[in-house]
């Protein structure tokens, strides 16, 4: 009996090698089945790999666009202020994404190259355009067009046509919003922690990343744009002393050698200034009188007042350190709570903040809550002087926070709160009412003489620093006459130490009209931020030339 024939089995290593022709019909059928299976496996594997690459690339572009949206807004904030830069940010992003997505088909017909090859060029041009125009940030539309290009390669044949046409754009927008929100807080917290965590460095890193994803010979045209960013402040009589980026914004110290003073700025706001042409005695000569007037907290007369050498003071918000420097120089044990480490560093390095103080570099709300039991009736003086003017940390003006400060004051303690506000808008009245609701006795002063009614109508605003001095008791607030030691050999203090421009309570809206600021109603104040910030921007452009703000 003839031996039964064995059906040969192919090994994967045999594929592509010369094979003997099938000897029987059964061999031929098995061969066909094997080849068909291999072809099917190969086709599915290739399809899955291609689709995965498409979605990964699209997701990468979405992440880059979301991060760049945040970086671009942060880059504009030194020129326009944080709120002004973000005021219409979402609407611009929405419009850019829609135009980029919808206009992708038209771009294909016009452009001789794919849109993704143009994206790196636009990204590298953005810093120059921001530098010259500071109102140009249309990278988002280009990115959306590139994402549409990439997702055109996605296989959505299995979906209904209505879903297939709208799903990529809808999902892309949802992912973009998620990435943008997720990265913003982390971006701000890490800003300035290294050279690469700065606005300009991040823009260049992102542009380089775009260049890797969309390689293009057009990048040679971006070189002149980067080179033309090199400019100087010297032509306008200024020089940059130092700068760094931090968690509250872009911090820089500048000298006006033409006028003889030095200032510290944070984004589009000034944290303080000091005359350099007068030299320094015990303390520096402040440019702005409000910080000198805050020192009048020592002059408030209260029963059982202790000498300076036995007194304790809490200073919330540092700036250049004018007020706490004076308190320390008078021998008062002073604790400074400042959220920005760069502000604290620059105040000591460039504005003479004495080192013999307790520095707390953290959020004052968290710090006060954590230390409330040990700080009960602990301080003789509290100076509340955080940045305001449209971008104030609202939590620091709520009734809850102010009650916490009241908890820290001794029974005969004094508190002064500085609030930069517009007398023509409700926020100032809301803050005043909240303070008056917390402390039984207060007097209110403004830094400068009030403008005439005609001038207010002409300008449309009445913006000034407002100082509210308050006591724990219902006693009337009075200031003692200064003695020579109070002036610390300072000409500015001799002229401005005692507040002069008192504001009557009738100036502000009644409590039943605007209410007070409760911890769960912070939107009552926040909703006015846009308008207040824009008016603050106008004031800052008067205090310092626009050319200096622009050349940050």
Task: Return the DSSP state at 413.
Answer: E
**What's the CA gap between 244 and 250, in Å, rounded?**
6
**What's the CA gap between 94 and 98, in Å, rounded?**
6
Sign of CA dihedral 80, 81, 83, 89: positive
Are 100 and 148 in contact by the 8 Å Cβ rule? The answer is yes
Q: Rounded to two decimals, what is the model's pTM?
A: 0.69
**Residue 436 confidence (pLDDT):** 96
> Is residue 497 scored above 80 in pLDDT?
yes
The DSSP annotation for 379-409 comes to: EEEEEE----SS---GGGGSHHHHHHHHHHE
Q: pLDDT tens for residues 510-551?
A: 988 999 999 999 988 888 887 877 777 778 878 888 777 776
Sheet strands (E) in 385-535: 409-422, 441-446, 463-471, 501-502
Are 114 and 141 in contact by the 8 Å Cβ rule? The answer is no
Q: pLDDT tens for residues 287-318?
A: 999 999 999 999 999 999 999 999 999 999 99
Q: Per-residue pLDDT averaged across 33-54, rounded?
A: 65
> Is residue 483 scored above 90 in pLDDT?
yes
Q: pLDDT tens for residues 67-115?
A: 666 666 666 566 555 555 566 566 666 566 555 555 555 555 555 555 5
Lowest mean pLDDT among 7-11, 186-190, 254-258, 457-461: 7-11
Q: Is the backbone of residue 204 left (phi > 0), alpha (psi -120 to 50) or beta? A: alpha
Q: List beta partners, residue 381.
A: 313, 414
Q: Per-residue pLDDT averaged across 332-357, rounded?
A: 97
**Residue 54 confidence (pLDDT):** 60
> Is residue 209 scored above 70 in pLDDT?
no
> Is residue 343 scored above 70 in pLDDT?
yes
Give the residue with greater pLDDT, 7 vs 33: 33
**What's the CA gap between 437 and 497, in Å, rounded?**
27
Q: pLDDT tens for residues 233-289?
A: 787 888 889 988 888 888 999 999 989 999 999 887 899 999 999 888 999 999 999
Q: Nearest-CA neighbor of 388 among 336, 451, 432? A: 432
Task: Return the DSSP state at 467.
Answer: E
**What's the CA gap between 410 and 376, in Å, rounded?**
8
């Amino acid at each position: 009996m003839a031996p039964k024939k064995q059906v040969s089995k192919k090994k994967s290593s045999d594929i592509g090698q010369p094979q003997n022709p099938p000897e029987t019909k059964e061999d031929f059928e098995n061969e066909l089945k094997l080849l068909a299976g291999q072809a099917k496996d190969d086709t599915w594997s290739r399809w899955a790999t291609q689709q995965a690459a498409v979605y990964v690339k699209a997701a990468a572009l979405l992440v880059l666009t979301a991060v760049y949206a945040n970086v671009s807004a942060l880059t504009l904030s030194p020129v326009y202020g944080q709120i002004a830069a973000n005021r219409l940010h979402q609407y611009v992003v929405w419009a850019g994404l829609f135009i980029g997505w919808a206009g992708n088909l038209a771009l294909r017909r016009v452009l001789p190259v794919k849109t993704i090859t143009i994206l790196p060029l636009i990204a590298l041009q953005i810093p120059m355009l921001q530098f010259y125009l500071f109102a140009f940030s249309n990278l988002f539309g280009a990115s959306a067009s590139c994402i549409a290009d990439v997702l055109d390669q996605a296989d959505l044949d299995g979906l209904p046509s209505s879903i297939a046409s709208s799903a990529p754009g809808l999902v892309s927008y949802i992912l973009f919003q998620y990435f943008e929100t997720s990265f913003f807080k982390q971006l701000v917290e890490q800003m300035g922690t290294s050279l690469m965590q700065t606005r300009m460095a991040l823009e260049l890193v992102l542009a380089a990343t775009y260049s890797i994803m969309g390689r293009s010979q057009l990048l040679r045209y971006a070189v002149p744009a980067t080179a033309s960013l090199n400019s100087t402040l010297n032509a306008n009589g200024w020089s940059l002393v130092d700068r760094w980026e931090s968690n509250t914004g872009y911090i820089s110290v500048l000298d006006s050698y033409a006028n003889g003073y030095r200032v510290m700025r944070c984004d589009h706001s000034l944290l303080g200034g000091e005359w350099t042409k007068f030299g320094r005695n015990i303390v520096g000569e402040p440019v702005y009188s409000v910080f000198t007037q805050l020192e009048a907290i020592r002059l408030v007369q209260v029963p059982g007042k202790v000498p300076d050498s036995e007194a304790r003071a809490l200073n919330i918000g540092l700036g250049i350190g004018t007020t706490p420097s004076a308190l320390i120089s008078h021998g008062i044990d002073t604790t400074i709570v400042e959220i920005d480490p760069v502000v604290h560093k620059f105040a000591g390095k460039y504005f003479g903040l004495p080192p013999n103080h307790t520095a707390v570099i953290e959020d004052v709300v968290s710090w006060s809550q954590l230390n409330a039991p040990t700080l009960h009736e602990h301080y003789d003086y509290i100076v509340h002087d955080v940045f305001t003017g449209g971008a104030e940390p609202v939590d620091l003006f709520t009734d809850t926070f102010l009650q916490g400060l009241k908890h820290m004051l001794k029974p005969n303690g004094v508190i002064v709160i500085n609030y930069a506000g517009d007398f023509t808008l409700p926020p100032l009245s809301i803050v005043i009412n909240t303070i008056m609701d917390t402390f039984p006795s207060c007097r209110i002063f403004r830094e400068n003489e009030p403008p005439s009614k005609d001038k207010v109508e002409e300008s449309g605003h009445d913006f000034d620093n407002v100082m509210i001095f308050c006591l724990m008791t219902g006693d009337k607030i009075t200031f003692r006459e200064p003695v020579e030691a109070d002036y610390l050999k300072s000409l500015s203090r001799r002229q401005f130490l005692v507040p002069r421009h008192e504001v009557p309570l009738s100036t502000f809206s009644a409590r039943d009209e605007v209410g007070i600021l409760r911890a769960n109603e912070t939107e009552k104040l926040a909703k006015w931020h846009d308008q207040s910030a824009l008016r603050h921007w106008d004031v800052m452009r008067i205090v310092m030339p626009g050319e200096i703000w622009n050349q940050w």
